[in-house]
Amino acid sequence: MNHRIIRYEPEFRERVAALHAEAFGLDPSESCSYLAWKYEENPYLQEPLLFLALNDAEVVVGMRGFYGTRWNVDGSSLCIPCADDFVILHRERNLGLATTLMQDALAKVRALGFRYVLNSSGSPITVLQQLAMGWRSLGAMEPVERLTWRGRLHRALADHLTRVPGAHRLAHRFGPDVSACLARLERSAGRAESHRAGITLGVEPRADVMAELAADCRDDQRVSHVRGPEFFRWRFRNPTREYRYLYLERAGVLHGYLIVTTYRQFAYRGLPCSIADLVGRSDRDRTDLIETVLSWGDFSAIGAWSAAFSPDDRESLEHAGFVPSELQARARGMPCILLKTLNSERTPGAGLDKLSWDVRFIDSMHG
């Protein structure tokens, strides 16, 4: 069967949403709003970088997206499209379409003048395929998790149900109630006596002051995602997630923030809650934020990517009961961030894969 690779046009919106919804177990309307947020409202790319595979009957049988990201590199900023939402319709798999779609999409991205592409949330199978196409790992993200007895019980039940024929669709019902996690966090934060060290909980990002703090705390020796106000205004409108923000203030000045994220529709295989980002002016500030969010949320299961954290922050997590997770993936060097150089000419930022990268959970679509 012949396939044609084209760039996304709005006329394909419903068909793309249907393909995405089927692949990721979402409602088509959820997929539609998610894709619109990610590709059409992205602050770093004017036009959606989304490529579609059509078969002879003009049916959308595959998609490969690149959403915009912007990184601080050597004192300037660089827009790098980040690959995501790779879908091949089940009946079209293992026919070489995956490779064709990826190669064609990359050629089109390169023709638009982009020098690099990233992938920060590929499944093991996607990571493998991309390594085979010359992508390089920028480092493993070293996931950690903290489970209470309730979290372990939920996981054991869900794992058991996934092995029972016909029962796997029920497994999510035995997962932790994520709305209860957030409600607990809000109740605890609302109690005056539980306030610690000037920490408060917010339901909206304070884009301007968060951007100022992130700029003050940035390590210029490492490549890091630009955290300007436009990042905070866009990033947390992800319609598939909910976010809560712990703010640490002294004398009216923001000294730190910690962001917790949950799925709106919890996928029982993953962790219901994660620390999406942590920024603070001092080790003590960040430790206070970690201790506070765990105390207030009393999460049955919460995770984080520890690779970008400072040694002190990692020690705080370990002290709080976080342990290495996703052990099989870790042993394979995953989850990881992948970079592909599209244009090897000597240009500013060349050799990005040799630099040290500070990649947070929120910099990927896991967050």
Residue span 130-169 as binding mask against other proteins, x where in contact by CB under 8 A, dash where not = -xx-x--x--x-----------------------------
Report the site for other proteins in 45-64 (rule: CB under 8 A): none
Residue 129 in contact with other proteins, rule: CB under 8 A: yes
| 127 vs 290 by CB, closer to other proteins | 127
CB of 265 to other proteins, least distance (A): 26
Binding segment for other proteins (CB under 8 A), chosen from 14-22, 91-99, 172-180, 226-234, is 91-99
Edge-to-edge order in the sheet of strand 323-324: 199-202, 241-250, 253-263, 273-280, 301-305, 143-147, 323-324
Cα separation values, 68 from 23, 82, 116, 207, Å: 22, 6, 12, 19
| Three-class secondary structure of residue 163 per DSSP | coil
Residue 90 in contact with other proteins, rule: CB under 8 A: no
**Contact (Cβ atoms closer than 8 angstroms) between residue 287 and residue 258:** no
Number of residues that bind other proteins (CB under 8 A): 24
| 44 vs 51 by CB, closer to other proteins | 51
Residue 98 in contact with other proteins, rule: CB under 8 A: yes
How is residue 171 annotated by DSSP? G
* Phi–psi pair at 70, nearest 5 degrees: -135, 130
| 128 vs 203 by CB, closer to other proteins | 128
**Contact (Cβ atoms closer than 8 angstroms) between residue 359 and residue 335:** no
| 96 vs 270 by CB, closer to other proteins | 96
CB of 126 to other proteins, least distance (A): 7
- For residue 366, give the nearest of 326, 339, 331, 327 by alpha carbon: 326
CB of 1 to other proteins, least distance (A): 13
